[in-house]
Amino acid sequence: MPDFSLTPEQESLRDLARKFARTEMAPHAAECDRASRFPEEIYRKAFDLGLLNLNLPTEYGGSGLGLFDQCLIVEELAYGCGGMTTTVIAHCLALAPILLDGSPEQKERFLKPIGAEYRLAAFALTEPSGGSDPGSMRTLARRDGDGYVLSGEKCFISNAPQASLFVVFANTDPSQRHKGVTAFVVPRSANGVTVGPDDEKMGHRASSTAAIRFDDVRVPASDRLGPEGGGFSLAMRTLDHTRTPIGALATGIAQAALDHAASYSLKRETFGKPISEHQAIQIKLANMAQAVQAARLLTWRAAWLIDRGQKGTLESSIAKCFASDAAFAVADEAIQTFGGYGYMREYPVEKLLRDAKLTQIYEGANEIQRIVIARELLRGYG
C-alpha cells in the first residue's frame, strides 16, 4: 500500500528545517530582500546544523540525504525564504556532478573540504547566448599538454560571488556540438577566473548571482569530471536529480502564500465581517490549497521514484513545472486576497510572487520542462 505519512525520523528532519526557517531565516527575509544582502551568517549556521550539504554523503561530512528527505527540508527552508534556499540548492546542484562522475580521488579532494568547513560551490552551465541549449556552448576547453585551457563566459551563476569552486561545462570539440561538452572542476583561485558584479534580481535577492569569465584558465586533466564529451550527459543526469527540489522550493513558497492569505482573511474585515466569510475569498483559498497539495504530492512522488532508483525524468519535470506554476499562481492570489496591502512592500506576499517567478525559469525553464514531459509522454504511445 502506498503510504503518505512521514517516518518519525523524517518528521524530526522536517522539524529541524522548519525551526531553522522560521527562527533564523524568516526574520531576516524581508531585510535581505530589500537590501539584496547575502546573509552569510545564516548559511554558516545552516552548514553547522547540516542543512547545507544535503546531498553530500556522510563519508565526506555531509548529511547524505536521499532526494525525498532533501525535498522535505527544501520545502521548509523555502517557506522561510525562497532566496536563501536558492543558495542551498545551487550549492547542492554543484556537488551533484562531482558525486555522479567524480573519481574516488576527485571526490576526496573536492568534497572533503566542502564537508569540513563552510564553503560554497557553484554550477556553471548557462551562457549569455542561452541557458537551455548546451549544443551551442561557446566556452571552450582547448587541450594543452597535460591539461586544458578554458576560455569563455558563464552567466546567471548562483553562488558565483562566494563560491570557492565551480563546476564548469565547456566544449572540448565544438564540431561535435553537445557531444563535445566536458565538465571541469575549477577553483575560484585559478588564474584567469573573474567573477562579475552581483546581478540585480527581481527576487531571490538573498542569494547572489553573477557572471564568470574564464580567460585562458589552465585546468589540469586530473580536474576533468568524466570523459571528454561526457559533460552533456552529466549535466542532464545532474538536472534529473536536482529538478525535483525546485518543486519542493516552489511548494514552500506556495504554502507560505496560502498561510499568509488564510490568516489575513480571518482577521481582515470588510462589510462588517471577516473577508474569510465572503465566498469570493473562500474560492480563492480553496483553489490555492488544491494547488499547494498537488504540488507537494507530485514533488514527493518524483523524489520517491528517484530514491527507488528510477530515472524519474517525466515525474520530476512534471513536479518542477507544476509546482512552480502553482507557486506563482498562489502568490498572485495571495496578493489579491490582501488587496492593496498585498501590493505593499511592508507585507510579505509581494516578495513571494517575485520569488515564485524564478522557479518557473531556472533549472530548465517551464517551456523546456513541457517539451521534456511531452517527449517522455509520447514515448509511451509510440
Partner 1 sequence: MEIVVCVKPVPDAETRLRTAADGSTLDIEAVKFVLTGYDESAVEQALLLKEANPGSKVHVVSAGPPPRTEEVLRASLALGCDLATWVEMPPGVAPDPVSAARALARAVAAVPHELVLCGKNAGDDEAGVVAGALAELLGVPDYSAVLDLRWDAAASRLRFQRSTEAGVEKWEAPLPCVVALQQAWNDPRTAKLPAILKSRRLPIAKVPPEAAIPATGTTRPTKFELPPPRTGAKLIEFKTPEEAAQKLVKVLKEDAKVFP
Partner 2 sequence: MTGPTLVVGELHDGALSDATKEAVSVAQSVSGKENVVGFLAGSSPRGPAAGFGRCGVARALVAEDPRLDGVAGAVVAHLVASAADSLGAELVLVGGSTFGRDLIARLGIRWNAAVATGVTSLTRTGASFEVRRPVFGGRATETRQLEGAHAAVALRPHASAAPPDSPGEVALTPVPLDGVPASFWAAKRLSVEVVSRGAGPSLTDASIIVSGGRGVRAAENFRLIDELAASLGGAVGASRAVTDAGWRPESYQVGQTGKQVSPQLYVAVGISGAVQHLMGMISSRVIVAINSDSTAPIFKVADYGIVGDLFQVVPALTQEVKRARGQ
CA atoms lying within 13 Å on the CB side of residue 382: 6
Letters for 55-94 (x = contact with partner 1 by CB under 8 A, - = none) are: ---x----x-------------------------------
- Residue 30 interface partner, choices partner 1, partner 2, none, CB cut-off 5-8 Å depending on type: partner 2
Q: Using the minimum distance from each CB to partner 2, give the nearer residue, 136 or 263.
A: 263
Minimum Å gap between C-beta 82 and partner 2 is 17
- Residue 118 interface partner, choices partner 1, partner 2, none, CB cut-off 5-8 Å depending on type: none
- Residue 347 interface partner, choices partner 1, partner 2, none, CB cut-off 5-8 Å depending on type: partner 2
Q: Using CB under 8 A, pick the residue from 145, 346, 380, 381 that binds partner 2.
A: 346
Q: Using CB under 8 A, pick the residue from 21, 51, 181, 246 that binds partner 1.
A: 51
Q: What residues between 232 and 291 interact with partner 2 by CB under 8 A?
A: 263, 267-268
Chain position carrying cell 562566494: 162
> In this structure, what C-alpha cell is assigned to residue 103?
573519481
> In this structure, what C-alpha cell is assigned to residue 288?
490555492
Q: Using the minimum distance from each CB to partner 2, give the nearer residue, 29 or 323.
A: 29
Q: What residues between 3 and 22 interact with partner 1 by CB under 8 A?
A: 8-9, 12-13, 15-16, 19-20
Q: Using CB under 8 A, pick the residue from 6, 26, 49, 368 that binds partner 1.
A: 49
Reference 280, options 337, 350, 339; nearest CA is: 337
Distance (Å, whole) CA 330 – CA 257: 6
Q: By the 8 A CB rule, do 100 and 110 touch?
A: no
Minimum Å gap between C-beta 268 and partner 2 is 6
In the annotation, is 363 catalytic?
yes
Alpha carbon of 249 to those of 212, 220, 323: distances in Å? 26, 36, 8
DSSP string, 50-82: T-S-TTS-GGGTS----HHHHHHHHHHHHHH-H
Alpha carbon of 277 to those of 3, 261, 281: distances in Å? 35, 13, 8
Q: What residues between 25 and 54 interact with partner 2 by CB under 8 A?
A: 30
Minimum Å gap between C-beta 44 and partner 2 is 22
Residue 297 within binding range of partner 1, rule CB under 8 A: no
Q: Which candidate in 24, 75, 350, 363 is catalytic? A: 363
DSSP string, 218-285: EEEGGGEESSTT-HHHHHHHHHHHHHHHHHHHHHHHHHHHHHHHHHHHHH-EETTEEGGGSHHHHHHH
Q: Which residues bind partner 2 (CB under 8 A)?
A: 30, 263, 267-268, 341, 346-348
Q: Which residues bind partner 1 (CB under 8 A)?
A: 8-9, 12-13, 15-16, 19-20, 48-51, 58, 63
Just list the catalytic residues: 363
